[in-house]
């Protein structure tokens, strides 16, 4: 299944007193990657919600291997790993694309900083499970 990559730069407020991206900053980045993958397929999650379909995260797994630092540019790679009638499993790799500062850098360009996966369930306005639209079932 196709892989999609989106890039973003680590914000100051996403970093913590250790000077690196807080581990809690990553879920939003994975979400952004999923959103942009949908857009790359000619759809938007905003329109899905307007149509009464909501994707809720039911599972999140993250393995943090190396720190991302303030102002680093990251590639967020996402691929659809599997689907059922109501669920989507995505897998992710966060890659260091461009270091803001090269001095004392704990990581090198191209390093995999974080890997992870999410499971999303499709629900309707009533919060009940509902089949994914066909175009999302891969």
> Which residues carry out catalysis?
16
**Least distance to its own copies, CB of residue 37, Å:** 14
Q: Does 56 bind its own copies (CB under 8 A)?
A: yes
Q: Considering the complex, state which of residue 53 and residue 80 has its C-beta at the smaller distance from its own copies.
A: 53
Q: Distance between CA 17 and CA 86 in Å, rounded?
A: 40
| H/E run at residue 115 | strand 112-123
Q: Does 103 bind its own copies (CB under 8 A)?
A: yes
- In eight-state DSSP terms, residue 23 is G
- In eight-state DSSP terms, residue 133 is P
Binding residue (CB under 8 A) for its own copies from 40, 57, 108, 133: 57
Q: Are 60 and 118 in contact (CB under 8 A)?
A: yes
Residues 14-53 that bind its own copies (CB under 8 A): 15-19, 22-25, 27-28, 31-32, 35, 44-47, 49-50
Q: Does 71 bind its own copies (CB under 8 A)?
A: yes
Q: Are 67 and 17 in contact (CB under 8 A)?
A: no
Sign of CA dihedral 118, 123, 126, 128: negative
The SS3 call for residue 48 is helix
Q: Does 62 bind its own copies (CB under 8 A)?
A: yes
Q: Does 12 bind its own copies (CB under 8 A)?
A: yes
Q: Does 59 bind its own copies (CB under 8 A)?
A: yes
Q: Distance between CA 46 and CA 50 in Å, rounded?
A: 6
Q: Which residues contribute to the site for its own copies (CB under 8 A)? A: 9, 11-13, 15-19, 22-25, 27-28, 31-32, 35, 44-47, 49-50, 54, 56-65, 67, 69-71, 100-101, 103, 106, 127
């Amino acid at each position: 299944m196709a892989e999609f990559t989106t890039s973003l730069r680590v914000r100051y407020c996403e970093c913590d007193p250790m000077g690196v991206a807080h581990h809690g900053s990553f879920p939003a980045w994975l979400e952004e990657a999923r959103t942009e993958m949908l857009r790359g397929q000619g759809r938007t999650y905003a329109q899905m919600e307007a149509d009464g379909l909501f994707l809720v995260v039911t599972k999140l797994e993250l393995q943090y291997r190396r720190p991302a630092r303030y102002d680093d540019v990251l590639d967020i790679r996402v691929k659809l790993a599997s689907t059922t009638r109501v669920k989507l499993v995505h897998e992710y790799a966060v890659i260091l694309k461009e270091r803001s500062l090269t001095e004392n850098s704990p990581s090198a360009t191209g390093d995999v900083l974080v890997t992870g996966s999410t499971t999303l369930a499709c629900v309707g306005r009533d919060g009940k499970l509902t089949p994914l639209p066909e175009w999302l079932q891969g």
